[in-house]
Amino acid sequence: MTKEIATFAGGCFWCMVKPFDQMDGIDEVVSGYTGGHVENPTYEQVCSETTGHLEAVQITFDSDIFPYKKLVELYWTLIDPTDPGGQFFDRGESYTTAIFYHSEEQRVVAEESKKQLEQSGKFTKPIAVKILPAKPFYPAEDYHQQYYKKNPLHYERYSIGSGRAAFINQHWGNQHE
């Protein structure tokens, strides 16, 4: 059993939890903030676009069951990797995309996966996802954790209304339903 941590920013963290949370080998998915310069930021501070933080999820996983490479491959299917200004109707720095690596091995896997996606021809625009060293991760407030379970109707409306669900279905099929 090899426990590791992975951190992904993919726009609104509510929509990033469910697909990872439902996979064997994933122990925990925590919504939070990372990449910025303010310690223990609040949601309001992050939304003000003054902290440098991105909304992100931090995943504790068993790499023997669900290898990091599979996590990265799943991550690509949850976002618009070509959008440098946010994700779907969520705009601004805090909603931009990034893979935060926790080891040299993770960096190499993420860079190779990004290169493969760029070369696949799946998207006509450049892949805008940054690959960055992990920084301190601050869990979001309790009401943001496992939002899809606590507020299933609002979560579904948000996923559809934001345009995320349609984009994912158009580019990747409905594999996350």
Residues marked active site are found at: 12
Count of CA atoms in the C-beta half-sphere (13 A) of 45: 16
CA distances from 175 to 23, 71, 167, 169, 170 (A): 13, 15, 12, 8, 11
Q: Where are the beta strands (DSSP E) in the chain?
A: 3-10, 26-34, 54-62, 86-87, 90-91, 97-101, 130-133, 137-139
∠ at Cα 121 (15, 63), nearest 5°? 50
- What is the C-alpha separation between 95 and 117, in angstroms, rounded? 21
Tokens describing residue 173: 């099929």
Residue type at 53 in one-letter notation? H
